[in-house]
Amino acid sequence: MMNTKEMVAVILAFDEGKTIQGAPCNSSDWMDLRDPCWNFDIWDFRVKPAEPRVFYVVDYFTGCLGEKRYLYEFDARKNISDNPRDKIVKFVEEIV
């Protein structure tokens, strides 16, 4: 069950245009709500958490004297060559 400060904070966030999620009390089945009913007796509400960003780094060899180059992009998988020494490293942002 939410306390008064949490209730006020989530209603203000809704007023600011943030996406609100709701779940029956003591449940973890959160769903996006367009028009919350604000029934705090049977529902918990929260601001939808930010989605972590995902990006890739391609670690590849240029072929010239074994030089290494790095390519940073949000979807570097399309730029990987057939060189078995090339590799893709996936990074997922951790939101704490």
The pTM of the full predicted model, rounded to 2 decimals, is 0.59
Sorted by where each begins, the domain ranges of the chain are 4-47, 54-92
Rounded CA separation 41/77 (Å): 48
Rounded CA separation 21/29 (Å): 10
**Could you identify the residue written with the tokens 């449940």?**
27
Rounded CA separation 20/50 (Å): 12
Residues 35-82 pLDDT 10s: 999 999 999 999 999 888 887 777 766 666 555 666 555 555 555 566
